[in-house]
Structure 1
Amino acid sequence: MTTDDLKRLVRTVPDFPSPGILFRDITTLIAHGEGLSACIDHLAHKARAAGAQAVAGMEARGFIFGAAVAARMGLGFIPVRKPGKLPVKTIGIDYALEYGRDRLEIDPTAIREGQRVVIVDDLIATGGTALAAAELLRMAGAHVTHALFVIDLPELHGAERLRGAGLTVEALMDFPGH
């Protein structure tokens, strides 16, 4: 399947979670076996080209795509978690949201010093979470140069923000609006 075929599998839900928002729902994509498999193939191809030695994904939808890409490539997966979800000593990073703050945590023993880690997530909007994840992975010793997404919302400038921080950003598709 082409990325155009995959794009047609993404459902748009108007006015969710608030009026004026066009929510890009991946549920219809991941429910389509051939589409999900093709999506993982496309992302794995990009991760392989980036020299990935491991894949990281952010909770929760990044787990869906990131773990599948890692498995397809025979690599390990590094879960980037919300606070308090890991049973071991973690390192974390606080980051700003549009209205407030949040935190991400990882198990630093999941990463080897200098390991090439590619970030995979479902969607890039403002880029705040992906930027924090990249910084956190780097704090743990990872070499992070690439972030891959299924969907980019370019009008929110997240990909630009990540590129400004030295990351190569690729998405399988983009949608107008926010």
Structure 2
Amino acid sequence: MTPRKTVKDYIRTIADFPHEGIMFRDVTTLFADPRGFRMCVDQMLHPYAGTRIDKVVGLEARGFILGGAIAHQLGTGFVPVRKKGKLPGSVISQGYQLEYGEAIVEVHDDAIQKGETVLIVDDLLATGGTAEAGIGLMQRLGADIVGCAFIIDLPELGGRRKIEALGMDVHVLCEFSGA
């Protein structure tokens, strides 16, 4: 009998990408497998079963893939949080720190109505900068954030601690050691 696969089993590791010394955790192999992808979506939603979620918020870029699938499963709306300059119309912006510099993400200023409940999703939780910026945007719009769900956590980089320190519920499917 073949042992049952976990979500982690579907994730490919590519050494030295995008730079030497980096172990890149590639979720495209997970997304490409129908069983793996369904397992991933189901497990990301499991802790929130029975919770009202008005919108799923996906962080650029792989969070769009997850967010769309999760929103479909819930029968609810999807809201993208994009890099600066990618959304037309009126937006609000939030800066965050990168290892070398700063980045900015944006969301439409009418994407969430005050009091709506949202689930924030992305593929990877590393330093937590992008998730923290997404949380900031949702809070500014008056959303009630029910949780933040990720496929992968890189615990040594401290993102989970940072997001939990903001009072957020964090759900991850698997961890990888190292950067």
Is residue 173 of structure 1 aligned with residue 174 of structure 2? Answer: yes
Going from structure 1 to structure 2, the CA distance change for 1:35 and 1:152 (only over 3 Å counts) comes to same
TM-score by length of 2: 0.93
How far apart are residue 92 of structure 1 and its match?
A: 0.9
Secondary structure, aligned partner of 2:173 = strand
> Match of 1:62, as an amino acid?
G
1:38-82 Cα shifts (integer Å, max 9, x gaps): 111111223435542211011110001011101111011111011
Aligned twin of 1:161: 162
Aligned twin of 1:75: 76
Aligned twin of 2:97: 96
Structural mapping, 1:35-46, within 5 Å: 35-46=36-47
Aligned twin of 2:123: 122
**Aligned residue pair count:** 177
Aligned twin of 2:7: 6
1:2-56 Cα shifts (integer Å, max 9, x gaps): 9952111100111112222111110111110111111111112234355422110
Unaligned 5+ segments in structure 2 are: none
Conservation of the 8 A alpha-carbon contact between 1:145 and 1:166: no
Unaligned 5+ segments in structure 1 are: none
Q: Which moved further from structure 2: 74-83 or 46-55?
A: 46-55
Secondary structure, aligned partner of 1:7 = helix
Secondary structure, aligned partner of 1:166 = coil
Is residue 64 of structure 1 aligned with residue 65 of structure 2? Answer: yes
Alignment partners' CA distance in 2, 1:80 and 1:49: 25
Alignment partners' CA distance in 1, 2:16 and 2:119: 33
> Match of 2:104, as an amino acid?
R
Aligned twin of 2:140: 139
1:150-172 Cα shifts (integer Å, max 9, x gaps): 11111111001100111111101
Alignment partners' CA distance in 1, 2:18 and 2:60: 19
Alignment partners' CA distance in 2, 1:157 and 1:44: 23
Structural mapping, 1:3-42, within 5 Å: 5-42=6-43
TM-score by length of 1: 0.94
Moved over 3 A (4+): 47-51
State the percentage of identical aligned residues: 45
Conservation of the 8 A alpha-carbon contact between 1:3 and 1:173: no
